[in-house]
Amino acid sequence: MLLKRCWIRVRGVKDGMRILSKVLVFVTMTLPLAARAQPPYMQKTGQALLPLDAPTLVIQVCLPTKSVSFADVGIDLTGTPKAKTLRQRRESSGHYDEPKSNQDTMPTIEEQLDPDRVTVRRWIVGSDVGELKKSFIGFGEALSRDGIPSYLGDHISLWGNSQKNQPIFEKQGHRPNETVAVDVLIDVVKYWYKLPTDLAIGNFSAWQEPISQETRDTDKTPIFWDLTHGRAMPLHPVERDAPKMRFRLMTIEDYWNERRFWERAREAIAEKYYRGVVGEAREKIHFVPKVDGTIPGC
C-alpha cells in the first residue's frame, strides 16, 4: 500500500519509476547486503554453509582514460592475529568440512608465509586532470537466486593498477549461475556487462566491453527494472573509452585462502590509519596489496 501511494503521488511514469526504483534499491541493499557482507567462510545457502568448492565470481574493472599512483608503506603486524585458511576459520567457528586429502589436515608453515611486517601500497589521491580522484565507484548486480530476481546496489574498490597505470577495481561477486548482469556507475552514466559464456575456473577472462549504457534520460524505466521483471536488456550505443570489465571464476576456498594474508594486513591498517578518521579525510585514505604479477592494460 505504501508503494502504491508513492506511485500515485508522483508526476508521470518516468518520475514514478525513478522514485520506485530508489525505494526498491534501498530495500534490496538494506536486507540482502547484511548477509552478503559476511566473509565467505560464513556465507550460507538457506541454513547451510556454502561448500568449500562452491564457485564465486571475481570481478575487475579498468578505467582506460584514468591514471593512478601508489606509494609503498611498511605495516607492522605484531599483535594482529595470524591469517587462517577458510577451513581453519570455519573450524574455529564450530563448522567442520570433510578434508579433500590428507594434505588438508597438515599444519601450514605460517611463520614463512605470514611475516609480522609486510609492504602494502597506499593510494596517492590524484590532483591532475585524468588522475583518479576516488578510490571506489558505483557497482550493481542483477541476480536471479532460486528463481527470485533481485538487484543489489553497492560499490567496487580500488585494487591496483594495470601495466599502463590505469586504475583497477576489484570485488567478489556472486555465483555465475545467479548473475544475470553487472553494472558500474561513472558520474551519471551506468555501463552494463554480461558474463562470458566460456568462463571457467582459472585465469581472468579478456577485458569485456559493456553491451549497453544508460543515463537518466535513456529509457522510461531503468535497465535493472527490466532485468528484474523478466524483460530483456535494452541495448544502447556505448561511448568510446567506456570502462572495461573482466571476470575470474574461483572456489570460495581458493578465493579466501589467496587473500587471507591481505585480510590480516587490512586489520592492522584499519587500526593505524582509519580509527577516528571520518568524512572526506577518510575517503582519501586507501590501501591495496602489493601482489606479484601485472594486470594487462585495457
pLDDT of residue 131: 94
Q: pLDDT category, 79, cuts 50, 70, 90?
A: confident
**Lookup result for grid cell 567496487:** 156
Convert the pLDDT of each residue in 238-265 to its tens digit: 999 999 999 999 999 999 999 999 999 9
Task: Average the pLDDT over 10-16 and give the result.
Answer: 37
- Strands across the sheet with 212-214, in order? 212-214, 189-193, 179-186, 136-145, 148-161, 167-172, 55-62, 244-251
Amino acid at 280: E
Question: Distance between CA 213 and CA 242 in Å, rounded?
Answer: 9
Task: Average the pLDDT over 155-184 and give the result.
Answer: 96
12-26, 51-65, 93-107: range with highest mean pLDDT: 51-65
Q: What are phi and psi of 161, to 5 degrees?
A: -140, 155
Question: Distance between CA 241 and CA 130 in Å, rounded?
Answer: 13
Q: Measure the CA dihedral 220/224/230/234, to 10°.
A: 60
**pTM higher than 0.85, yes or no?**
no
Convert the pLDDT of each residue in 108-124 to its tens digit: 334 446 788 999 999 99
Higher-pLDDT residue of 70 and 19 is 70
Half-sphere exposure of 152 (CA within 13 A, CB side): 22
Lowest mean pLDDT among 14-28, 134-148, 215-229: 14-28
Instruction: Calculate what percentage of the chain has a pLDDT beyond 90.
Output: 57
pLDDT of residue 8: 24
pLDDT of residue 248: 95
pLDDT of residue 110: 42
Task: Average the pLDDT over 155-179 and give the result.
Answer: 95
Convert the pLDDT of each residue in 263-291 to its tens digit: 999 999 999 999 998 888 999 999 999 98
Question: Distance between CA 103 and CA 268 in Å, rounded?
Answer: 30
Q: Using CB atoms within 10 Å of the CB of residue 166, give its burial: 0 to 12 exposed, 13 to 18 middle, 19+ buried.
A: buried
Task: Average the pLDDT over 124-129 and give the result.
Answer: 88
Cα dihedral sign, 83-88-93-97: positive
Tell me: pLDDT of 16 over 60. no
pLDDT of residue 87: 84
Query: Domain residues of the chain, as ranges?
Result: 1-30, 41-289
Q: pLDDT category, 50, cuts 50, 70, 90?
A: confident
Lowest mean pLDDT among 35-39, 170-174, 175-179, 293-297: 35-39
Question: Distance between CA 232 and CA 223 in Å, rounded?
Answer: 9
Q: How far is CA 245 from CA 13, 180, 197, 205, in A?
A: 32, 15, 14, 9
pLDDT of residue 22: 39
